[in-house]
Amino acid sequence: MWHSVPQGDFLPDAPQGDFLRGVSRGGLLFHPLVSLLAVTLWRAHARADEHAHANAPARRRMLRRLSFQIPFYTPRGQSARRRNCLNKRYTMKSSNPPGARVSQTRSFSTVFLIEMWERFGYYGMAALLVLFMIDKLQFSDSHATLTWGAFTALVYASPSIGGWIGDKILGARRTMIFGTAVLSAGYFMLALPNDQLAYMYASLGVIVVGNGLFKANAANLVRRIYEGDDARIDSAFTIYYMAVNIGSTVSMLATPWIKDHWGWHTAFAVCCAGMLLSVLNYFVMFRTLAHIGSAPDAEPVRWKRVGAVALGGLALGEATMFVLPQKAIGVA
């Protein structure tokens, strides 16, 4: 049974490891089947070593993250002093206080749902407004299109002011919820059975103010939830914009059908209901965002600042009511 087989017939040219040398000393490599089994085991062992070597940086990063998240855990080779130093550095860079136990996923889910219902309300209104002006207010096609263009220009310009208010005046979280409340009021005004032209312009002015307060600060909260983790911020914003797509798609399909069956103002009421769900979602899940926000969010509410922002909102609403009827501005 036992016979000598040249070692080169069954082993690779690479140097043998300690495992193979130990087996060869016992004479087992002189049997062909045992030799093949040994080569197979040696190759598996070599691949495992290569895999471990390749994944060593990732494993070290994982252990480092565990040291940040679990106070009593210390990776092998890392002293307690080094661990405490890293924990302090992590705490200083993080937007979450050390006592916060709310996961980032729950905080993000709250903002995701708020954004989804806000986009439901806005795009539901957008699907109806031009046709409403033509059908109920007897606008011509060109006049309705110019009015819509001026309105959307104001809608997308106003967040530049709202973002500054969120960062410096009221706080991103407070400004966002104020924006949702104002948007709800604007859609509610459209839902009331009042077809006067000035009333519609006033409703659109309220929507411009609400969108300015809301839009920039909702995205700001997403950034602050994942602050310091660029890779996760990119993924979070990808999912965040899915909320925009979901809300807009559902509302643009639903509101025209509701208008055909129950009328214009009922369809606008559905947009208002979407915004009210956004507000309700915030208050139900408030604790998941209680530790997220800009610096003014951590301070007590300063009512003088709230009053100043309210006056600025009134001024923007009045400016909107002045701009929208001006055909010359729309053409320019």
Fill in the DSSP letter of residue 31.
Answer: S
Q: What is the CA radius of gyration of the chain?
A: 32
At which residue do the structure tokens 């002189």 appear?
A: 30
Q: How far apart are CA 163 and CA 296, in angstroms?
A: 13
Q: What is the pLDDT of residues 61-102, one digit of tens each?
A: 554 444 334 333 444 444 444 445 444 443 333 344 444 457
Identify whether the C-beta of residue 297 lies closer than 8 Å to the C-beta of residue 173: yes
Fill in the DSSP letter of residue 268.
Answer: H
DSSP string of 140-180, one letter each residue: -HHHHHHHHHHHHHHHHHTHHHHHHIIIIIS-HHHHHHHHH
Cα–Cα separations (whole angstroms), residue 304 to 175, 275, 300, 301, 313: 15, 27, 12, 9, 14
The residue ranking higher by pLDDT, 54 or 295, is 295
The domains of the chain, with CATH numbers, are 7-93 (no CATH), 104-331 (1.20.1250.20)
Q: What is the pLDDT of residues 147-194, one digit of tens each?
A: 999 999 999 999 999 999 999 999 999 999 999 999 999 999 999 999
Fill in the DSSP letter of residue 168.
Answer: I
